[in-house]
Structure 1
Amino acid sequence: MRFGIVAKLALLLALVGVLAAGLTGFYAYQTSRDLLVASAKNKLLTSTQVLARRILLTHEEISRNLQVLARHPSVVSVLQQPNEVEAQRLATLLALLMDAHPSYLQLRVISASDHGLEQVRVDRVGRVALRVRGDDLQEKGHYPYVAETLKLPAGAIYLSRITINHEGNAGAGLDQPTLQLAMPVMDVQGMAIGVVVVNIDLNGMFALLAADLPPVFKLFLANGEGDILVHPDSSKTFGFDKGRRTLVQDEFAPTLAVVEGKQDHVVFEAKTDGYAADPVVAAFIEQKIAVASTENRLVLGLAQPLGQVLEESQQLGKVILQIVAGLCLACVLLALLLARAWTRPLDAITRAAQRFANGQQPGELPLERQDEIGTLARSFHQMHYQINQQLADLQDNQEELEHLAQHDMLTDLPNRRLFQERLEQALAHARRYGSQVCLLFIDLDAFKSINDSLGHDVGDVVLKTMAERMQQMTREVDTVARLGGDEFVVLLGAPAPNDHLTVVADKLLQGLKAPIRVQSHTLHVTASIGISRFPQDGQTASEMLINADQAMYNAKLAGRDGFRFFSNPAA
């Protein structure tokens, strides 16, 4: 049987159409798979960072509770002059705190005297918080969470290592993963007279923190040496407590860089060893511990099954396969009549797929066609739109997280981290060009009395008002930041002579002391300002901050509501 040129051309065009459809499907599937994996990695890393932030917020909440207890009159009274009435009142308070925080296993008030004797102790028994009395109270002075905490200054937090609790009379926490947080209790002379200690249920705390994560996510936690503390398989946790070590870097080799401190995060696919049958996508980050502790950092990670990540890709692959099969059949049946008409749109789709695979815009597609090619083009266009939308959403989320990581949540001013970066940049510029850097350290006078007498809500209004005033009284090139509490700093964006610094400081003092109307109160809040300058008052960012802080304290000692230079203004 002889084939004419039309048949040959039709067959050739049909083959070209099949090839174009196949290439389009391949590029679309391969690109969507790669983008889905990349999107999953970004999502995992973002989720891990959010979880780390929630852990930090949980730690801050516990710290605030300990701070309240350490300053509570009942705690001080029980430690100085023990009596049953005050002890029972304090035990009731501790029990209420434990009812409000399910992850608290034990709350104790321990004396610095009598070998660290427990004065008041409340244990969790089931869901009930019960007071321990009499001979069941023990001497705990030899434990680090007592001995080390007594050495700390007022308001400082001690954090123990995360271990299995084998301490006698540990209540519900016995033989369970736990950690202790403690804070010293001071008398009016500033001497440590005892400590308040909270035992945290590690499994319970992480169960609460991970409750909002998708069920398929797997949570991992390791200490700074890589010992696994939290793992989906509980038999792999706390190996050092069982006479062996199970390390996260042995299970996931890429995490070695985080454990050794060479990287602050890693994102990878695990497809070998124990994960050969069920590969996962994982993200691990380093979580530093900034309080007094025998642990200096933790390694936190999340993993997601790779099959679940690629499920959408597989569904898309089936759709593409169906489209390609239909297109091939249409090419065979209609190539004789529509060969020329199909050549251009198929080429357009192929080029679009190639551009898409190369990260470029796909360009024009034959979306108006009502045949299989149009269906393929619209499916490709919809897929491209959805992937771009997902990437845009991820970018928005990333920008929001970056903003939260660099700004104070109350005042929306730059936080210590962002301010440190800008100060380092200003110092580098000043060293290169031989110019000056001017730093003003501002501390509100008697702010603690506002919080104590009127409450933190009023205090927050005062802090936000002061922040707004500082921004209004400074230039756009200046940086106003909140370091924490009632401490603010102003980094001038350009060198200024000493007489100008004096004018700026006086302007800030006058503007800040203006009356503040909060609820039914009219407050007059003053501030003390310390000024340091580069290069005469320090060569590094730390020296500049420390010296400005010292100058601020000199201003307070001089009567407050004033400012002081760290060194002679004429220098």
Structure 2
Amino acid sequence: MKYGIAVKLALLLAAVGICASALTGAYSYGVSRSLLVESSQQSLVAATQVLGRRVDTSLEEIARNLQVLANHPSVRRTLKQPDPQMNAQLAELFELMMQANPAYFQIRLISADNFGLEQVRVDRLGPSFINVPEADLQEKGHFSYVSETLQLPSGTVYMSRITINHERGVYTGAERPSMQLAMPVRDTDGKALGVVVINLDVDGMFALLATDLPLDFRLFLANGQGDILIHPDHSKTFGFDRGRRVLLQDEFAATRSLVTGATSQVVFQQPTTDGLLQPVVMAFVRQPLKLRSEEGQLYVGLAQPLSSVREGARHLGLLIMISVLGFGLLGLLGTLFLARLVLRPLRQLIAAANLFGRGQEIGYLPLDRQDEIGELARSFQQMQRQIGEQLGSLHASQEQLKQMAQYDALTELPNRRMLQDRLDLAIARARRHGGCAAVLFIDLDNFKDINDGWGHDAGDAVLVAVAQRLRLSVRDTDTVARLGGDEFVVLLDGPDTERDAALIAGKLIDCLSPGIPFQGGTLRVAASIGISIFPQHGITAPQLLMAADRAMYSVKANGRGGFGFAVLQD
């Protein structure tokens, strides 16, 4: 059987296409596999950094709890003049705080007198708590978390090293990894009356911090000298407590640059070792501690099985192989079909299709032919006309949907969705350039009375008038949005000071004071405005909106018709 030039050309093109697809697929698989591994490593580093920041945040939260306890009036009174009833009340307070913080082993109030005698002590015992009786209270003045804390200024936190708790008389915390955080209690004259001490369950704290991590991740922790504190193989932890030191830099050689201070983070692949049943990708970061501490810094690490990292690459390779085979087969069938067509009219159709794809005039088509090519050309011309009409209609529909999705139908102001997008952009811009952004949450004070007394048409008229006045009272770069009902939000993109935001809030209140004509009468509304500023009152869009909302309700509670700022975040 003889094959014509069209069949031969089709087979040749199909073979070239399949080979090119195979080479492209192989190259794409190699590059994509490397990118997947690199991306997984970067994600692991990011997760480790987040975990390190969570550690510092948790310690700062404990410091705030110590601040609350150290400044509690009952604490000072019982240190000056012990009273059993007062001690019982403090024990209840300690127990409530331990219920809210599962990682607290123990909270104690220790006097500066009587060799550091414990005045109040609550210990955790499994799911319950023990208010240690007076007869079992101990003298702790010889411990550094007492003697050194008494020398600190008021409000300063002492943080001990992370060690195994060998103190006698301890309940759940006995022989467990722990550290003590303490703060001095001073009277109004600055005299040290005692210390408040929180004994922290280190394993429990890190277990809570790691709850969001995938189940196959493994957590590592080392102190400032590199002593391993958390490791899947528990025999490698707290070696210094057993007379030998197991150091991070010895266990994982790649971390030496981290411990020596040459870098702040490392990521590497680690083969199977004790405690690691399979090869893993590991990331370690150095986390400086903001609190006064004997540790100074911690080294936090995460390990992810290398098999899970490579699993995505295997799936990718399978998909590429299937795609190459499938498209190769389709290409073979397509070229066999196309090769049977007349080349010249086909080129004309291809040229016309390319022009149409670029949105240009399609030019000449072989419309006068009476064969299949002519019919195809006429069908193409008709399709081009129909698609043009459909594209125009689709474009109009898209514009209408965009308007409905981003703007309020009544006031034509941006809605909550568009406000969220613009607020995110304003926050990103302020964070990048060191500026600020302000959110003014506006609620009309007597809008319900207008709706009830005049009807919903009057309410709609008021909302439209308020929207116009607000829009005319701010800059073009600012955003006025309606959240729903009688709630509006004004986003000030970059006020210089809180005073600027306050001036604009006053201007907005003034612009709403004139009456609104309606059906021969006059409608009057007032507004309460809550103000939040980035970054003082929040660093995300939900935080800023919530802070401004709370500030607005505070204004309403204090008499309405004014404005107020949100409470500063700690």
**Helix, strand or coil: the match of 1:211?**
coil
Give, in angstroms, the shift of residue 307 of structure 1. 1.6
- Equivalent residue letter for 1:256: R
Give, in angstroms, the shift of residue 193 of structure 1. 1.1
Q: In structure 2, how many angstroms separate the alpha carbons of the residues matched to 1:159 and 1:166?
A: 17
Give, in angstroms, the shift of residue 96 of structure 1. 1.3
Give, in angstroms, the shift of residue 48 of structure 1. 1.8
| Matched residue, 2:17 | 17
- Equivalent residue letter for 1:168: R
Distance change (3 Å), C-alpha of 1:170 and 1:523: farther
Taking the TM superposition and a 5 Å limit, the aligned residue runs for 1:160-239 are: 160-239=160-239
The Cα offsets for residues 392-418 of structure 1, whole Å up to 9 and x where unpaired, read as: xxxxx9x99998899899999xxxxxx
Contact 1:184–1:195 (Cα < 8 Å) also in 2: yes
| Matched residue, 1:248 | 248
Contact 1:48–1:300 (Cα < 8 Å) also in 2: yes
Contact 2:233–2:275 (Cα < 8 Å) also in 1: no
The Cα offsets for residues 406-435 of structure 1, whole Å up to 9 and x where unpaired, read as: 9899999xxxxxxxxxxxxxxxxxxxxxxx
| Matched residue, 1:124 | 124
Larger mean CA deviation between 283-292 and 196-205 belongs to 283-292
Q: In structure 1, how many angstroms separate the alpha carbons of the residues matched to 2:534 and 2:151?
A: 28
- Equivalent residue letter for 1:288: P
Q: In structure 1, how many angstroms separate the alpha carbons of the residues matched to 2:16 and 2:183?
A: 76
**Helix, strand or coil: the match of 1:173?**
coil
**Helix, strand or coil: the match of 1:196?**
strand
Q: In structure 1, how many angstroms separate the alpha carbons of the residues matched to 2:245 and 2:126?
A: 31
Q: In structure 1, how many angstroms separate the alpha carbons of the residues matched to 2:181 and 2:429?
A: 29
**Helix, strand or coil: the match of 2:181?**
strand
Q: In structure 2, how many angstroms separate the alpha carbons of the residues matched to 1:106 and 1:55?
A: 19
- Equivalent residue letter for 2:558: S
The Cα offsets for residues 270-322 of structure 1, whole Å up to 9 and x where unpaired, read as: 34766997332222111111222211100112221222122222112112112
Distance change (3 Å), C-alpha of 1:262 and 1:18: same
Number of residues of Structure 1 aligned to a counterpart in Structure 2: 385
Q: Does 1:520 align with 2:550?
A: no
Larger mean CA deviation between 255-264 and 174-183 belongs to 255-264
Q: Does 1:60 align with 2:98?
A: no
Contact 1:13–1:339 (Cα < 8 Å) also in 2: no
| Matched residue, 1:351 | none
Q: Does 1:314 align with 2:352?
A: no
| Structure 1 length-normalised TM | 0.59
- Equivalent residue letter for 1:224: G
| Matched residue, 1:265 | 265
Contact 1:224–1:299 (Cα < 8 Å) also in 2: yes
Distance change (3 Å), C-alpha of 1:301 and 1:129: same
The Cα offsets for residues 245-265 of structure 1, whole Å up to 9 and x where unpaired, read as: 222223332221121111111
Q: In structure 2, how many angstroms separate the alpha carbons of the residues matched to 1:234 and 1:403?
A: 46
Q: In structure 2, how many angstroms separate the alpha carbons of the residues matched to 1:136 and 1:40?
A: 53
In structure 2, which of residues 498, 503, 509 is the aligned counterpart of residue 468 of structure 1? 498
**Helix, strand or coil: the match of 1:314?**
helix
Contact 1:14–1:339 (Cα < 8 Å) also in 2: no
Contact 1:288–1:296 (Cα < 8 Å) also in 2: yes
**Helix, strand or coil: the match of 2:210?**
helix
Distance change (3 Å), C-alpha of 1:287 and 1:110: same
- Equivalent residue letter for 2:166: H
Taking the TM superposition and a 5 Å limit, the aligned residue runs for 1:91-130 are: 91-130=91-130
- Equivalent residue letter for 1:146: V
Contact 2:52–2:300 (Cα < 8 Å) also in 1: yes
Q: In structure 2, how many angstroms separate the alpha carbons of the residues matched to 1:27 and 1:173?
A: 57
Q: In structure 1, how many angstroms separate the alpha carbons of the residues matched to 2:132 and 2:234?
A: 31
Distance change (3 Å), C-alpha of 1:484 and 1:403: closer
| Matched residue, 1:41 | 41
Contact 2:222–2:298 (Cα < 8 Å) also in 1: yes
Distance change (3 Å), C-alpha of 1:90 and 1:317: same
Q: In structure 2, how many angstroms separate the alpha carbons of the residues matched to 1:408 and 1:211?
A: 35
Give, in angstroms, the shift of residue 150 of structure 1. 0.6
Give, in angstroms, the shift of residue 18 of structure 1. 3.4
Contact 1:71–1:185 (Cα < 8 Å) also in 2: yes
**Helix, strand or coil: the match of 1:63?**
helix
Identity of aligned residues (%): 50
Q: In structure 1, how many angstroms separate the alpha carbons of the residues matched to 2:252 and 2:433?
A: 31
**Helix, strand or coil: the match of 1:182?**
strand
Give, in angstroms, the shift of residue 51 of structure 1. 1.8
Give, in angstroms, the shift of residue 21 of structure 1. 1.8
- Equivalent residue letter for 1:33: R
Q: In structure 2, how many angstroms separate the alpha carbons of the residues matched to 1:406 and 1:230?
A: 40
Query: Which has the greater radius of gyration?
Result: 2
Q: In structure 1, how many angstroms separate the alpha carbons of the residues matched to 2:216 and 2:67?
A: 38
Q: In structure 2, how many angstroms separate the alpha carbons of the residues matched to 1:120 and 1:304?
A: 44
Q: In structure 2, how many angstroms separate the alpha carbons of the residues matched to 1:327 and 1:190?
A: 81
Give, in angstroms, the shift of residue 199 of structure 1. 0.5
Distance change (3 Å), C-alpha of 1:304 and 1:13: same
| Matched residue, 2:26 | 26
Contact 1:184–1:192 (Cα < 8 Å) also in 2: yes
The Cα offsets for residues 353-405 of structure 1, whole Å up to 9 and x where unpaired, read as: xxxxxxxxxxx9xxxxxxxxxxxxxxxxxxxxxxxxxxxxxxxx9x9999889
Contact 2:430–2:436 (Cα < 8 Å) also in 1: no
- Equivalent residue letter for 2:259: V
Q: In structure 1, how many angstroms separate the alpha carbons of the residues matched to 2:63 and 2:325?
A: 63
**Helix, strand or coil: the match of 1:269?**
strand
Taking the TM superposition and a 5 Å limit, the aligned residue runs for 1:541-556 are: none
Give, in angstroms, the shift of residue 201 of structure 1. 0.8
Distance change (3 Å), C-alpha of 1:484 and 1:232: farther
Distance change (3 Å), C-alpha of 1:276 and 1:235: closer
Q: In structure 2, how many angstroms separate the alpha carbons of the residues matched to 1:408 and 1:267?
A: 34
Contact 2:121–2:132 (Cα < 8 Å) also in 1: yes
Give, in angstroms, the shift of residue 19 of structure 1. 2.4
Segments of 5+ residues of structure 2 without an aligned counterpart are 342-357, 359-423, 440-494, 504-532, 538-553, 566-570
Q: In structure 1, how many angstroms separate the alpha carbons of the residues matched to 2:99 and 2:436?
A: 28
Q: In structure 2, how many angstroms separate the alpha carbons of the residues matched to 1:275 and 1:234?
A: 8
**Helix, strand or coil: the match of 1:245?**
coil
- Equivalent residue letter for 1:520: N
Distance change (3 Å), C-alpha of 1:482 and 1:315: closer
Taking the TM superposition and a 5 Å limit, the aligned residue runs for 1:381-400 are: none
Distance change (3 Å), C-alpha of 1:277 and 1:262: same
| Matched residue, 1:448 | none
| Structure 2 length-normalised TM | 0.59
Q: In structure 2, how many angstroms separate the alpha carbons of the residues matched to 1:80 and 1:407?
A: 48
- Equivalent residue letter for 1:107: I
- Equivalent residue letter for 1:468: E
| Matched residue, 1:283 | 283
**Helix, strand or coil: the match of 1:24?**
helix
- Equivalent residue letter for 2:164: I
